[in-house]
Amino acid sequence: RQQLYRELRDKPTATKDGVKIDLLMNAGLLVDLPQLVESGAGGIGLYRTELQFMVASTFPRAEAQERLYKDVLDAARGKPVTFRTIDIGGDKVLPYFKGVQQEENPALGWRAIRLTLDRPGLLKTQIRALLKAAGGRELKVMLPMVTELGEIAQAREIIDKEVRHLSRFAHMLPNTMKVGAMVEVPSLLWQLDELMSAVDFVSVGSNDLFQFVMATDRGNSTLANRFDPLSVPFLRTLKQIADAGKRNNTPVTLCGELAGKPISAMALMGLGYRSISMSPAAIGPVKAMMLELPLGQLETFMQENLSGKSATLPMRALLQAFADDR
Ligand code: PEP
Ligand code: MG
């Protein structure tokens, strides 16, 4: 199989009926970067910047952050990279970060964008490092755990201020800059059109979105097989986001674990996703599936099943049967 995947690597990433779909990879450490060439990924759809913070014993200095972001962009050689601002808090604790209280519900707590807007020094340093590292190149920055649109406005203010600061000192700025948000908190589902006009792109964090939509701790192994992301309610949730992206002309990606399993990647394509980001090892199997996928047939199949009156259809089994038949 490894041999097969290697042969597929340089084939265009399109379905059997010729629809182009971007297969991107998730990364977070320098050791991940050689995978960009080996896997044939079209870019890095999610770069988890908090990993540098998690493996350190103190806050990484501005210079170390800038160095890392430069190395990542150099390794990507012009392929797009989406840097997510630090997603710490929740289950990702930094032992050296004092002043964090024990929380009863850390997943719902002081984390990600909530934390960095309250400690703007952290966000400023990171944004400045990103802007400097991406001088003369494209910079894509993504905000995690956005709940209200005001958080995007606040983050944008910090970004704009850093841009002004660097240009005053004649630093080379990125030649294009895109700001996006993760869709992983359900409140965004009822403000999708406003969200899409507030950002340049969105990426669905299906790990957290599933946890919050189903009220099910993503790390609890007792519950791990109880609810299915390939169920009617969750698939309808994902479809709403893809539809809103189309309606608003806003690029939508999905970068949770769901993207890395061929059967669920197939479902995502059937829902309208044209860009998904996954662990590098998943790209071969997902691409092998995609090259055999008659997407038009799948879209009709999913429309019929998801718009019907039953929320209890066994979608996983139906999707599996669709795949087996073809
Ligand atoms: C997600 O929530 O789906 C996601 C991609 O982010 P993380 O797994 O890092 O929370
Ligand atoms: Mg998440």
Q: Taking the C-alpha atoms of 138, 142, 148 and 151 in order, what is their torsion angle to the nearest 10 degrees? A: -70
243: which 2 tokens?
A: 């539809």
Residue bearing the bigger pLDDT, 101 or 185: 185
Index of the ligand 1 atom closest to the CA of residue 208: 2
In the structure, what pLDDT confidence band is assigned to residue 92 with cuts at 50, 70 and 90? confident
d(CA 124, CA 159): 7
pLDDT for 37 beyond 80: yes
3-state secondary structure of 145: coil
Tokens for 208, please give them: 């957290």
Ligand 1 center to 96 CA (angstroms): 23
Percent of the chain with pLDDT over 70: 100
Output the pLDDT for position 308.
87
Give strand pairing partners of 138: 176
**What is the average per-residue pLDDT within 30-36?**
93
What pLDDT is recorded for position 2? Answer: 82
Using only the alpha carbons of the chain, give its radius of gyration: 20
Q: How confident is the model at residue 45 (pLDDT cuts 50, 70, 90)?
A: very high
Q: What is the mean pLDDT of residues 268-285?
A: 97
Look at residue 301 in the predicted model and tell me its pLDDT.
96
Confidence at residue 144, expressed as pLDDT on a 0 to 100 scale: 98
DSSP one-letter string for 4-65 = HHHHHTTS--B-TT--B-EEEEEE-SGGGTHHHHHHT-SSEEEEETHHHHHSSSSPPPHHHH
Query: Model confidence over 135-144: pLDDT tens digits?
Result: 999 999 999 9
Q: Helix 262-271 to helix 315-325 angle, to the nearest 10 degrees?
A: 100
State if residue 207 touches ligand 1 by the CB under 6 angstroms criterion: yes
- Please give the DSSP secondary-structure letter assigned to residue 318: H
Residue 24: which of 284, 286, 292, 283 has the closest Cα?
283
| Complex-level ipTM | 0.99
- Ligand 1 contact via 90 beta carbon (within 6 Å): no
Q: Pick the residue whose CA is nearest to atom 1 on ligand 1.
A: 205
State phi, psi for 52 to the nearest 5 degrees. -60, -35
- On the question of pLDDT at 6 being above 90, the answer is no
- Kindly report the number of other CB atoms within 10 A of residue 319's CB atom: 21
At residue 215, the 3 state secondary structure works out as coil
pLDDT given at position 98: 83
What is the mean predicted confidence (pLDDT) over 22-46? 95
pTM above 0.90, yes or no: yes
Q: Is the CB of 229 inside a 6 Å radius of any atom of ligand 1?
A: no
Q: What's the token pair of residue 109?
A: 């707590």
Whole-number average pLDDT of the chain: 96
Nearest to 110 by CA among 88, 129, 126: 88
The answer on pLDDT for 13 being more than 90 is: yes
Say how many Å lie between the first and final Cα of the chain, rounded: 19
CA of 18 to the centre of ligand 2 (A): 32
